[in-house]
């Protein structure tokens, strides 16, 4: 069974920061520069967290994982809120004209 999580990080070293960010961009939906939304099974989550651990330094960096009941329970305001509104509600349909957000919605919601 898949569950929703928000993963946020503060990586102090620029090289490690790029490695963590690039890795997570392939695993999750970026909400902000260092905040990602994951929708995955427990096994996939464990694998993702292991990948983050391998790229970060756990004594210097701060990585946090928060469970989320559903993406529409996330309140958003500001620059990204309109672009991500369809994702939170799970309503948008993917078309080539919608760009990356349409592809994300299609991947997450079918």
Tally Cβ neighbours within 10 Å of residue 35.
17
Q: What is the pLDDT of residues 15-38, one digit of tens each?
A: 999 999 999 999 999 988 999 999
Domain housing 41: 1-68
Distance of CA 40 to the CA centre of its chain: 11
The pLDDT of residue 94: 40
CATH number of domain containing 27: 3.30.70.240
Decide: 101 and 84 in contact? Cβ < 8 Å: yes
Residues 78 and 39 in one domain: no
pLDDT in tens, 45-63: 999 999 999 999 999 999 9
pLDDT reading at 83 higher than 60 = no
* Cα–Cα distance measured from residue 106 to residue 37, given in angstroms and rounded to the nearest whole number: 15
In angstroms, what CA-CA distances link 23 with 54, 65, 96, 103?
10, 16, 25, 19
Domain count, the chain: 2
Same domain as 46, residue 35: yes
Model pLDDT for residues 87-101, shown as the tens digit of each residue? 554 443 344 445 555
Question: pTM for this structure?
Answer: 0.72
25 and 38, same structural domain?
yes
Note whether 76 and 59 are same-domain residues: no
**Alpha-carbon span 19 to 5, nearest angstrom:** 20
67 pLDDT higher than 70: yes
Predicted pLDDT of residue 70: 81
């Amino acid at each position: 069974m898949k569950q929703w999580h928000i993963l946020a990080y503060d990586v102090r070293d620029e090289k490690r920061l790029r490695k963590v960010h690039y890795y997570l961009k392939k695993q999750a939906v970026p909400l902000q520069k260092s905040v990602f939304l994951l929708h995955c099974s427990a096994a996939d989550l464990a694998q993702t967290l292991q990948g983050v651990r391998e790229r970060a330094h756990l004594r210097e960096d701060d990585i946090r994982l928060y469970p989320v009941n559903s993406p529409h329970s996330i309140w958003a305001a500001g620059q990204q809120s309109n672009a991500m509104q369809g994702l939170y509600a799970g309503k948008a349909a993917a078309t080539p004209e919608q760009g990356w957000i349409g592809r994300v919605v299609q991947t997450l919601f079918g």
